Amino acid sequence: MKILAIAGALVAAVALLLGTAGADDSNGLYGRVSASPDGIGKTYSGREIARVMGWQGAGWLERPEREQEERSDLLLPLLGVHAGMVVADVGAGSGYYTERIARAVGPSGIAYGVDVQPEMIALIRERARQSGLENIRPVLADLKSVKLPAESVDLAILVDVYHELEYPYEVLASIVDTLKPEGRVAFVEFRAEDPQVPIKPLHKMSEAQIRAEASRQRLAWVGTLETLPWQHVVVFRKLAQQRGSKQRDAN
């Protein structure tokens, strides 16, 4: 009887998971596959979504060789980040770029450090305290929204994070909402086109894939910067909302 009870519980658990999966893609955006070692078994626009790097891996974000490998010193100048801007570092992790943004925008600007992991938010708060940068604003997001005020951000930067978003369509839509008119969003992703980039395939994205997914939103491609050694920087600008227009069909 005990074995039957356990089997029944397992069947119920599987049914619950299947029901959750069905609810997850009820809008037709997402699919399911057998999860690969680096993925979550959920697909969007033909790709499997990568597993999120947990807060325990924050040390990798802070590795001493990162600036030399990725030339992170070049990114903010490439994007024209300057004093007085409001910039959102989405998927900020430990705040590696958040601190650099805060210094670049100065006291008159704001650097939002946005992440879904409370442990990462704690690291960003501690970073702000130690650096004395009062313009760093840690923001705990959820899986579907960056939780920022509407039309408040000049530039949103996603560094090596978009491919890990469990709800990429919803999160990107929330980013578009938070951009000021003519605001920009920059995807910084390891080049899937380059086999020499020493990153696991599921944690890379091609320019074509990024542009295809961004085209589902109210965004216009501005250009792609290939200055960095491992990553491309794919930049979009928010399009004006036309009166009486319907939201672009997600499909």
Domain ranges of the chain: 1-32, 49-238
Q: What is the mean pLDDT of residues 201-230?
A: 97
Per-residue confidence band for 64, with pLDDT thresholds at 50, 70 and 90: confident
Task: Tally helices (H) and strands (E) across the chain.
Answer: 8, 10
Q: Provide CB contacts within 8 A for 71, sequence distance 6+.
A: 227, 228, 229
Of 143 and 9, the structure prediction assigns the larger pLDDT to 143
In angstroms and rounded to an integer, the radius of gyration of the C-alpha atoms of the chain is 19
Q: Does residue 32 surpass a pLDDT of 70?
A: yes
pLDDT reported for residue 27? 72
pLDDT reported for residue 181? 96
Per-residue confidence band for 243, with pLDDT thresholds at 50, 70 and 90: low
pLDDT reported for residue 56? 66
Q: Does residue 242 surpass a pLDDT of 70?
A: no
pLDDT reported for residue 21? 40
CATH code of 49-238, in short, is: 3.40.50.150
The runs of H, that is alpha helices, within 112-232 are: 118-131, 168-178, 207-214
Starting at the edge strand found earlier in the chain, the sheet holding 231-238 runs 136-140, 110-115, 86-90, 153-159, 179-190, 231-238, 219-225
Q: Does residue 1 surpass a pLDDT of 60?
A: no
Strand 153-159, strand 86-90: pairing: parallel
- Tell me: the pLDDT tens digits for 73-113? 999 999 999 999 999 999 999 999 999 999 999 999 999 99
Q: Angle 96-105/118-131 helices, nearest 10 degrees?
A: 40
Of 66 and 142, the structure prediction assigns the larger pLDDT to 142
Mean pLDDT lowest among 38-47, 191-200, 234-243 = 234-243
Of 13 and 212, the structure prediction assigns the larger pLDDT to 212
DSSP state of 71: -
- Tell me: the pLDDT tens digits for 109-153? 999 999 999 999 999 999 999 999 999 999 999 999 999 999 999
pLDDT reported for residue 16? 33
